[in-house]
Structure 1
Amino acid sequence: MNKLYVQDRDIAVPGEILAVGMETFPGMGTCRNGDNIIASRLGLVQIEGRTVKLIPLSGR
């Protein structure tokens, strides 16, 4: 089962669970921890197909 906990352009904080399930893939600024995709930095969520990534809000 696949579930998104965020919508496109939401703000995510480090450690926040963005999605659960193996059908969604982690992108830049996110990582997988078991079945969870979590934010690794502060940023805006960008959902592209089945990939969840973050647009960083910091200067890096």
Structure 2
Amino acid sequence: MADDEDAPTDQRPPFLARLSAIETIIVAAIALTALAGLMLIGKGFYLKATACLLEANLL
């Protein structure tokens, strides 16, 4: 196992560490936009489910 100790580690830095400041801001903005979109989709499903439940209870 001595060969493993002498081998250079070929570790790459984490993804966000390789990006510049502007690129990091752009990635964060895209992630926030995607999160907001998912929240709106979830709210739409919630409203649709609530309407279906209320309609079933009123009939």
Q: TM exceeds 0.5?
A: no
Q: Which has the higher contact order (CA 8 A, sep 6+)?
A: 1
After TM superposition, the score normalised by the length of structure 2 is 0.19
Give the number of the structure whose alpha-carbon radius of gyration is greater: 2
Instruction: Provide the TM-score with structure 1 as the length reference.
Output: 0.19
